[in-house]
Amino acid sequence: MEKTKAVRLSLLVLAVAGACAAVPALKPRPEPALDRAMRAQTIDALVAKLNDHYVFPDKARQMTAVLRRFEREGKYDGVTNAYRLARQLTADMQGVARDQHMKVGYHTKMVLPDDEAAPVSRAQWEQRTGLLTRLMQRYAAAREVKQVRRLGDGLAYLKITSFPDAYLMLEKYASTMDELADTGGLILDLRENRGGDPQAVALLISYFVDRPTRLNDIWERDTGNTVQYWTEDRLDGKRYGGKKPVVILVGPGTASAGEDFAYTMQALKRATVVGKPTWGGAHPTQTYRLGGHFYAAIPNQRSISPITGTNWEGVGVTPDVAATPDSALAVAKELIRRRMRDGAPLVAAAH
């Protein structure tokens, strides 16, 4: 997320110019050295975390077998750079599970313990975070709503580039939907949406239905529990309602929670999806420390649509209407204006 900068534009330009003049050319990123013991510790920890937490235990066992075989064969012996080991381990896991969210990473700063990396509730966030930081985080999150504009003829356009934590977006979603409430149709652009919080997805979808609606279930391997995600009964902004036409633009840059929004609205037959197939990552993920500066992002949950009985993992969201990036917005405008003008149906979801 972008940091807020409480300075005037002119001062900011001068500061940036001065900094550029004063700072020498950037040096290449240092390559942290590894020894045999560090490699072994990292692989041991990764294998343990996969077997304890990965959403599909059988796949975790398969990945473990592959990693251990490569280790015995000496595949990692020549890897003496931490970033390279992280990339190699990621590739080897992906070769088995092909799970889009799964990766091993390395950070120059100490990685937080698992319990500190876990998601927090709104109450925990308010308790742990000072007022100024909370305001800054809300401001940065609100900027993920990139564009809200009217296209004429009662048609509106909304671009959202991620779904920050729901408690950060309460006011922004409310003010945005208040601004759009009197329009007759909406194009929602998620082509650059990187994902985020499933609860924020549920919060925004709540504005597009007229009654309590079950949206998505998430099963967690660690507990064996399934959490149902429903729309919110009370909203701070005006509902758009369940009747006015909505078109969602998607593409390969639509990921994770962005896919969740498009997939769920499509399954509900509440929106028509236009564009190219999406990224294909449906499993919510937890970050686990592997020791030192290594960490693993391991999917430990599975999204399950109560309508389709499955999700978009590995295949992405399939648009109702295929369109190239250059033509998607024009196609959406034509579809939705025809519906607004003469009641012509939008293309029915085929899922």
The pLDDT score that the predictor gives to residue 338 is 86
Runs of H (alpha helix) within 98-165: 114-117, 122-128, 131-142
pLDDT digits (tens, 9 = 90+) for 133-185: 878 888 888 899 999 999 988 999 999 999 999 999 999 999 999 999 999 99
Domains of the chain, start order:
30-129+286-298 (no CATH), 142-281+316-342 (3.90.226.10)
29 pLDDT more than 70: no
- Is the pLDDT reported for residue 11 higher than 80? no
117 contacts: CB under 8 Å, gap ≥ 6: 111, 286, 287, 288, 289, 295
Residue 115 is predicted with a pLDDT of 56
**Tens-place pLDDT, residues 50-101:** 999 999 999 999 999 999 999 999 999 989 999 999 999 999 999 999 898 9
Average pLDDT over residues 236-263: 96
**Share of residues in the chain with pLDDT > 90 (%):** 71
Reported as a pLDDT band with limits 50, 70 and 90, residue 330 is very high
3-state helix, strand, coil in the chain (%, to 5): 40, 20, 40
- Residue 184: φ, ψ to 5°: -95, -10
Residues 6+ apart with CB under 8 A from 163: 144, 169, 193, 195, 196, 197, 198, 200, 201, 204, 257, 258, 261
Q: What is the DSSP string of 254-313?
A: --THHHHHHHHHHHTTS-EEEES--------EEEEEEETTEEEEEE-EEEE-TTTSS--T
Closest CA to 255 of 306, 330, 291, 201: 201
List the strands of the sheet with 246-250, edge to edge. Answer: 145-152, 155-160, 185-189, 246-250, 272-275, 321-322
**Alpha-carbon span 271 to 346, nearest angstrom:** 8
